[in-house]
Chains A and B, each alone.
Chain A
Amino acid sequence: MTAHKIDLKELERKVQLMRKTAEELKEMADSFPALDRNLSRMLATIKMLELNIGI
């Protein structure tokens, strides 16, 4: 994949979908440490995806 073939809009849309899903799961996991803590890490990783596409 070279820079000119990268569809940033589509990447952004899918990353935001991931964020939304992870946040919704986290809300459901406040009494489920194994999910809550892994989702926190997942959200940190999603943040790196956002930074890398300039959001």
Chain B
Amino acid sequence: MLVDQKYWNPVLETLPREEIRKLQLKKFKAIFQWAYDHSKFHRSLYDTAGITPNDIRSFADIRRVPKVEKSMMRDVQRKDPFPYGDALCVPLEEVSEFRQTSGTTGQPIYQADTWQDWEWWSECWAYILWAQGYRPADRVFIPFGYNIFVAFWAGHYAAEKIGCEVVPGGVLDTKARILKIQELKATAMMATPTYVLGMADTAKNKMNINPADLSINKITCAGEPGASIPSTKKRMQNAWGAKVFDHAGATEIGAWSFECQDQPGGMHVNEAFFLVEIEDVETGEIIEEPGRRGKMIITALDRMAQPCVRFDAKDIIEWDSVPCSCGRTFRLIKGGVIGRADDITKVKGVLLAPSAIEEVVRSIDELCDEYEVVVDKLGDIDRIKLKVELLPGLEDRVKEIESRLQDQLRLKTNLGYRIDFYDYGKLPRHEVKARRFKDLRKSH
């Protein structure tokens, strides 16, 4: 039976490693040739570096190919054809999809896709959803404001491709979405971790509905690392009585990794469709071995209109040392995306990853889901303020909870914090991605 099949693609997902590498090299050569032949931007970049398609014979050659950074794409998009610029590889009339990045790190990048690219997007997502147990009998609710951001658009199309029944939860507010899930007995959902927790909070505290009593049995997260942070994942799974899975993707890359049903504490890279390299941030050396963190350089091997070739994604990842029990031969990245090179910052001389703070806050049961971190300077000295919300009725235990929180934060991050406690509901709520980490030193 089709529904009993473990893999969306029983051939590619179980290919021996050497076959995967051969396929990646073959595809890299093809996408490099395509970009060289059709994009003025790429040809100029590669000509300047003195590298042509004929030079690509091995993975060592691939490492000589210049990386593309987001800031370069901003320059590209000031050129013709409007609005995509000269990295566009197809005539404008072949572009059928417009999306843009959220602009959290600067001017948004516009992303062009042809219909084939869009089929590719939903194909990548089909690998994700099938691996997470989505099947044709599922009724999938998508509480997402369908708009210019790619977010769950491709998840919607992939769920359709798999044969699921898809309920678009577009402009409904949170309460209406919860009532619709209840009314339709939806079995699966896709949302950011922030919103998964926010919906559960609204259901419990404003509607007297226990989300675990609803029929959702699996949730796919995106947009934030929460589903790979153990304490956040646990909160979401407990709140909804459902399995929660992570996936990572980006507008200018595609949906490149996913957690499978075995929940191995990491995500598979879809290596049939993407080439992921990990680069040592200090030396620029490519890291092949497990256990060493570095910055992801990624190539979307089949994306044509606006190619993504050795894109410096700034995601911090590391290879896992053990293969997954699910049997896929696609490599795992341990703990998912650990952070972004932009966000991992030195505070008082210590490297701080905001996800480490989240792991601690969400592991303290007496605290609500929301929190905020503000780093600033008092004179020449860095200081970190952590704002948290206490669950109602625990006000007389503040000192004990603060002491536990301080101990855990020092253990996990090697830093001391000023902690401000707020009453439940006082910190801002977010519907999509939350900006919980604010480094005010950068504006000084």
Contacts and interface: CB of A to CB of B under 8 A. Distances in A.
A15 to B, nearest CB: 13
Given A40-B115, A41-B115, A44-B115, A51 B10 contact: no
A44 B119 contact: yes
Nearest to A45: B119
Contact of A53 (B5, B11, B114, B120): B11
Chain A interface residue bracket vs B: 10 to 19
A54 B12 contact: yes
Contacts of B116: 43-44, 47
Most buried by A among B114, B119, B123: B119
B115 A52 contact: no
Contacts of A44: 114-116, 118-119
Nearest to B301: A51
Given A54-B23, A54-B272, A6 B115 contact: no
A25 B120 CA distance: 23
* Secondary structure class of chain A's binding surface, majority of residues: helix
B9 A52 contact: yes
A43 B123 CA distance: 14
A48 B119 contact: yes
A51 B120 contact: yes
B274 to A, nearest CB: 12
B11 A52 contact: yes
Interface of B: 5, 9-12, 14-15, 23, 114-116, 118-120, 123, 272-273, 302
29 contacts: A1-B5, A3-B10, A3-B11, A3-B14, A6-B10, A6-B11, A8-B11, A40-B115, A41-B115, A43-B116, A44-B114, A44-B115, A44-B116, A44-B118, A44-B119, A45-B119, A48-B119, A48-B120, A48-B123, A51-B120, A51-B123, A51-B272, A51-B273, A52-B9, A52-B11, A52-B12, A54-B11, A54-B15, A54-B272
